[in-house]
Amino acid sequence: MPKQFDLIVFDWDGTLMDSAGVIAASIRAACRDLGLTEPSELAARHIIGLGLNEAIAHLLPELPVADYPSFIERYRHHYLGKDENIPLFAGAERVVRNLHGARFLLGVATGKSRRGLDRALEHTGLRAYFHGTRCADECFSKPHPEMLEQLMDTLGASRERTLMIGDTSHDLLMARNAGVPALAVSYGAHPRADLLTHTPLACMDSIAELEAWLLAHA
């Protein structure tokens, strides 16, 4: 079958890497360290995918901006102690490798910092498979479309032949704002019901389902 897409863009945390639980735990631990009201697990997971400053503003609106560096330092203290051991979802490496072998252009659009994504690409060995990546400290945070717009412009892909894959409402809204079709995965940070409100092409409950959908439709 002819390809339906030229460029496939993945979110990172909660889509390729099984990191949503560690991120949420690190956010909650940072709040405890600073004597702030500890958010629920659901609330902490909701801001995954946003840039750090945007995430803090959404989750802790009462926290003065001057105190953001203290929160970020405590968050990174907890997260960086674990990040080398965070695995990819089983089968994620195979999906990326096979798409690369099938000559799709591949990208990453993530709320991680450039330093954080580079470290994750190095640890997982996936760097060589991606043709372009954009991070929250290089572009406007999701759901602004800039990450996707820059990737499409750099890699020469049209909106209708670009596919965004993500596990959060922020990913799906970014895709909508960029005029790009989106595919949701429900095994990451946001509940399936929340993802479906944004009418993705489909919502996959596992890497195996994602792999099958891409084989049949991409």
Alpha-carbon dihedral 35, 40, 45, 49, rounded to 10 degrees: -40
Say if residue 81's pLDDT is above 90.
no
pLDDT attached to residue 1: 60
Q: Please, which pLDDT band fits residue 83 given cuts at 50, 70 and 90?
A: confident
In whole angstroms, how far apart are CA 23 and each of 8, 14, 30, 33, 165?
25, 10, 11, 15, 19
Report phi then psi at 191, rounded to 5: -65, 150
pLDDT by residue (tens digit) across 145-187? 999 999 999 999 999 999 999 999 999 999 999 999 999 999 9
Q: Supply the DSSP string of 164-214, one letter for each residue.
A: EEESSHHHHHHHHHHT--EEEESSSSS-HHHHHTT--S-EESSHHHHHHHH
pLDDT by residue (tens digit) across 99-129? 999 999 999 999 999 999 999 999 999 999 9
pLDDT attached to residue 2: 76
Q: Which domains does the chain have, with CATH numbers?
A: 7-19+87-217 (3.40.50.1000), 20-84 (1.10.150)
* Catalytic entry in 6, 11, 83, 167: 11
pLDDT by residue (tens digit) across 48-61? 999 999 999 999 99
- If you average pLDDT over every residue of the chain, what do you get? 96
Polymer length of the chain: 218
13 catalytic? Reply is yes
The 10 Å Cβ neighbour count of residue 189 is 30
pLDDT attached to residue 143: 97
* Catalytic entry in 13, 18, 167, 171: 13
DSSP tag of 130: -
Say if residue 76's pLDDT is above 80.
yes
Report phi then psi at 214, rounded to 5: -65, -40
* More confident position, 18 or 1: 18
Say if residue 84's pLDDT is above 90.
no
